[in-house]
């Protein structure tokens, strides 16, 4: 049995960052990742099978049939789902996690996102709560994440949260559609700016700049200008010689002693691997590793599942589940979208990444609703996605009229969308399915419940604002659809191990340490008490820097 | 589904290849039902005009498809797939093939992308890359 200082389960944003910090602090780290380390050429550029449109598969999952989940929809219907299917709520399983193929929006949360209950009160039936930390506690780590991951942004315009240091990279270039939307916003008296994106707008940290290709979100970057953990903190971890990365490793359980201290991790890993063919069939063996600290960073669904799978006679409901919060309060983001047609003479340049203008005017202080959302224009859009979702509703679905509409409108389509801060419900949850097992005989995640109805009211308010922005800009037509209540997690999954000052109110303390287990930490979106009206990745990163530095201080001084 | 005009129609663009590939692969579970639907489409054409669907004039093809879309078909339609589901699925498959990347088989030479003004603009294939790049400090100059 091998002994480490720290075992990290999951090499996504949180786990990759923790691995970098802890290895550089001199600790021996075992980093277990369920997916493979994929090269650009290992991630297909298939427009029907990617992380933006996964009709028949995706472009990172290695064994799609091997890891089902059970999804229970709003009507109570239960179905077995596979990674590319909507009910699965997939975030990429690969080294780098979602950051391998993401859209790179790197937002700080608003200071009031950390005190939602204090600002708005807790609506009946919801589990809306304050975070045990404030924005100010996280501010230095936000800054560090921006610098060390590499974020391009407009520090003069982006003032929804205080900042001391400018972004390390200049903002993405203005676009004709962004300029058009800026004029519309000005007519309304709304302030706009270029949103922060974790993309190399110029060469940075030894890697090239973005070439603005036309298939960005959902795909790997052809120039490696898309910043994530796989090309920043993780290589730093490996270059210390102290970090052992095991890919295609599936954690089975975290082992604990009777005093609650964690002893190590049992996992399955391939007997041998072929680095030139990361998708090769593997035969697996059972392994056990011991460590002084274990960090779970597998995303809100799989992190909750592993803690539930790690039950023992002294922890019969799973680790950190003494007060029943583990796996509850699942949140993602509702995304109201308003579609429109640009007037003649304004053309969508169809350049990546595509998101070029945003407003944070409606994140808080909206009459009659709780919270709000950032609004921005969309990423560069694949033609097949445009056909599926973005044609005006009265265009026939087939035939010559449909073809002409595609030809005439593809470069004139515009949409505004934003991640609505969800009002959490304790009934939206991850549990272990009582029947379905994965290929290792481990119970799979069962997803059930829906968000609190207040989320729908905020989403409706934001949909109206998105339409208003398009109209004020002079869109020729504007249309949209109201949201329906649903289970929401997806790529922005959060909340299943929420932090709390009082162990009765959550799963982890303000450092991400699981209540009752001194040496067990969580380092991903599971920690989020609320998920902000922003893409959550930068907050996941900032928390990872904070938790990892805390652990480094504790473990190093205990040597 | 996607008729020719200044730009290729579905047939010229290879959508049939795409659909066959899907029915043999990702959509194999639907293949039986969709194939019965296609046979029934021929039967509908034969009942109306004594020829298969392929042999109908474009105008008669359109009329039949519009009737199908509205569910106005003969009562002998196979039970395993409703006419509406069959039609909606064929519309989806045809357009997925036509607008997806050429490697999927239904957008030969990227003709639909040229038509609408889309270009993935991927740079030339990169030199063989490492899955995990070396950090800048340890990279050779």
* B96 touching chain A per CB within 8 A: yes
Determine the pLDDT at residue B14: 97
Mean pLDDT of chain A: 96
pLDDT value, residue B80: 87
Could you give the CA distance from residue A309 to residue A498 in angstroms, rounded to a whole number? Answer: 18
Angle at A417 between CA A414 and CA A422, to 5 degrees: 170
Residue of A nearest to B88 (CA): A397
CB contact under 8 A, A407 and B135: no
Query: Residue A472 in contact with residue A184, Cβ under 8 Å?
Result: yes
The verdict on a CB contact (< 8 Å) between A36 and B65 is no
Q: Cα separation of A61 and A50, whole Å?
A: 10
Taking only the tens place, the pLDDT of each residue in A54-110 is 999 999 999 898 899 999 998 899 999 999 999 999 999 999 999 999 999 999 999
Is B137 touching A (CB cutoff 8 A)?
A: yes
Q: Is the pLDDT of residue A1 over 70?
A: no
* CB-based contact B135 A236, cutoff 8 Å: yes
Confidence (pLDDT) at B139? 43
Residue A2 has pLDDT above 90, yes or no: no
| Nearest residue in B to A38, CA atom | B131
Q: Which of A36, A38, A47 to mutate to test the interface with B (most CBs of B within 10 A)?
A: A47
Asked if A447 and A71 touch (Cβ cutoff 8 Å), the reply is yes
Write the CA distances from A156 to A142, A193, A230, integer angstroms.
Answer: 17, 9, 30
Query: Is a pLDDT exceeding 80 seen at residue A287?
Result: yes
Chain B, 10 to 69: residues with Cβ < 8 Å from chain A are 22, 26-27, 62, 65
Look at B122 and A215 and tell me if their CB atoms are within 8 Å.
Answer: yes
Whether A403 shows a pLDDT value over 60: the answer reads: yes
- Note the pLDDT of residue A499: 98
pLDDT-derived band at B108, boundaries 50, 70, 90: very high
Say whether residue B100 is in contact with chain A using an 8 A CB cutoff: yes
Q: Answer yes or no: is pLDDT of A284 > 50.
A: yes
- Bridge partners of A376? A358, A417
Q: Judge whether residue B140 has pLDDT over 50.
A: no
- Cβ <8 Å between A399 and B62: yes
pLDDT at position A558: 64
A427 touches chain B (CB under 8 A): no
Distance in Å, alpha carbon of B55 to nearest chain A alpha carbon: 18
Site from A406, A408, A412, A413 to mutate, B interface, most B CB atoms within 10 angstroms: A406
Q: In the predicted model, is pLDDT for residue B127 greater than 90?
A: no
**Which residues have a Cβ under 8 Å from the Cβ of A121 and sit 6 or more positions away?**
none
Measured between beta carbons, the chain B residues lying within 8 angstroms of A52 are none
**How far is residue A91's CA from residue A72's CA, in Å, rounded to a whole number?**
18
In order of A14, A197, A533, the CA distances from A167 in angstroms are: 21, 10, 21
Mutate to test the interface with B, among A17, A53, A92, A403 (most CBs of B within 10 A): A403
- CA-based nearest residue to A130, from A150, A145, A115, A142: A115
Stretch B50-78: mean pLDDT: 90
Q: CB-CB: which of A56, A213, A239 is closest to B121?
A: A213
Predicted confidence (pLDDT) at residue A305 exceeds the cutoff of 50: yes
């Amino acid at each position: 049995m091998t002994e480490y200082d720290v075992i990290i389960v999951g090499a996504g944003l949180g786990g990759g960052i923790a691995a970098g910090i802890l290895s550089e602090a001199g600790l021996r780290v075992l980093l277990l990742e369920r997916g493979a380390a994929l090269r650009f050429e290992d991630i297909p550029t298939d427009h029907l099978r990617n992380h933006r449109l996964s009709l028949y598969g995706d472009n990172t999952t290695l064994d799609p049939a091997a890891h089902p989940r059970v999804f229970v929809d709003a009507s109570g219907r239960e179905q077995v789902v596979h990674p590319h299917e909507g009910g699965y709520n997939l975030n990429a399983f690969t080294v780098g996690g979602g950051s391998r193929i993401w859209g790179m929006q790197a937002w700080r949360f608003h200071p009031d996102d950390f005190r939602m209950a204090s600002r708005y009160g807790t609506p009946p039936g919801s589990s809306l709560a304050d975070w045990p930390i404030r924005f100010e506690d996280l501010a230095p780590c936000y800054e560090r994440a921006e610098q060390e991951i590499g974020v391009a942004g407009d520090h003069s315009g982006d003032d929804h949260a205080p900042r001391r240091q400018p972004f390390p990279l200049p903002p993405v270039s203005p676009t004709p559609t962004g300029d058009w939307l800026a004029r519309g916003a000005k007519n309304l008296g709304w302030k706009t700016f270029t949103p922060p994106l974790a993309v190399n707008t110029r060469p940075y940290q030894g890697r090239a700049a973005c070439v603005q290709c036309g298939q960005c979100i959902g795909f790997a970057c052809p120039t490696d200008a898309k910043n994530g953990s796989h090309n920043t903190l993780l290589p730093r971890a490996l270059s210390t010689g102290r970090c052992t990365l095991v890919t295609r490793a599936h954690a089975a359980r975290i082992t604990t002693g009777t005093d609650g201290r964690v002893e190590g991790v049992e996992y399955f890993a391939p007997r041998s691997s072929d680095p030139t063919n990361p998708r090769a069939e593997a035969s697996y063996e059972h392994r056990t590793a011991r460590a002084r600290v274990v960090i779970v960073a597998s995303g809100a669904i799989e992190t909750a599942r592993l803690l539930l799978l790690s039950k023992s006679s002294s922890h019969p409901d799973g680790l950190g589940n003494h007060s029943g919060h583990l796996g509850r309060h699942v949140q993602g983001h509702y995304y109201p979208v308003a579609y429109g047609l640009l007037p003649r003479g304004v053309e969508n340049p169809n350049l990546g990444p595509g998101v070029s203008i945003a407003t944070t005017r409606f994140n808080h202080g909206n009459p009659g609703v709780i919270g709000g959302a950032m609004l921005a224009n969309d990423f560069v859009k694949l033609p097949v996605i445009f056909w599926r979702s973005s044609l005006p509703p009265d265009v026939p679905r087939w035939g010559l009229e449909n073809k002409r509409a595609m030809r005439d409108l593809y470069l004139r389509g515009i949409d505004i969308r934003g991640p609505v801060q969800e009002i959490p419900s304790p009934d939206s949850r991850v549990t272990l399915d009582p029947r379905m097992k994965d290929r290792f005989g481990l119970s799979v995640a069962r997803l059930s419940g829906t968000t609190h109805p207040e989320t729908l009211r905020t989403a409706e308010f934001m949909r109206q604002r998105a339409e208003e922005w398009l109209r004020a800009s002079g869109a020729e037509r504007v249309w949209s659809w109201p949201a329906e209540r649903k289970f929401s997690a997806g790529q922005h999954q959060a909340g299943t191990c929420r932090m709390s000052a009082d162990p009765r109110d959550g799963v982890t303390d303000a450092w991400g340490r699981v209540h009752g287990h001194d040496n067990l930490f969580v380092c991903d979106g599971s920690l989020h008490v609320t998920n902000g009206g922003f893409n959550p990745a930068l907050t996941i990163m900032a928390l990872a820097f904070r938790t990892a530095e805390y652990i480094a201080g504790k473990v190093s001084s205990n040597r | 589904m996607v008729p020719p005009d200044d730009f290729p129609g579905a047939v010229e663009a290879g959508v049939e290849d795409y659909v066959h590939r899907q029915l043999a692969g990702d959509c194999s579970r639907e293949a039986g039902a969709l194939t019965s639907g296609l046979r029934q489409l021929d039967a509908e054409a034969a009942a109306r005009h004594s020829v298969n669907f392929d042999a109908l004039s474009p105008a008669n093809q359109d009329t039949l498809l519009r009737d199908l879309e509205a569910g106005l078909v003969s009562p002998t339609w196979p039970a395993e797939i409703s006419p509406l589901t069959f039609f909606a699925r064929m519309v989806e498959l045809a357009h997925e093939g036509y607008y997806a990347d050429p490697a999927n088989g239904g957008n030969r030479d990227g003709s639909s992308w040229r038509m609408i003004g889309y270009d993935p603009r991927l740079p030339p294939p990169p030199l063989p890359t490492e899955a995990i790049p070396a950090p800048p400090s340890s990279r050779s100059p």
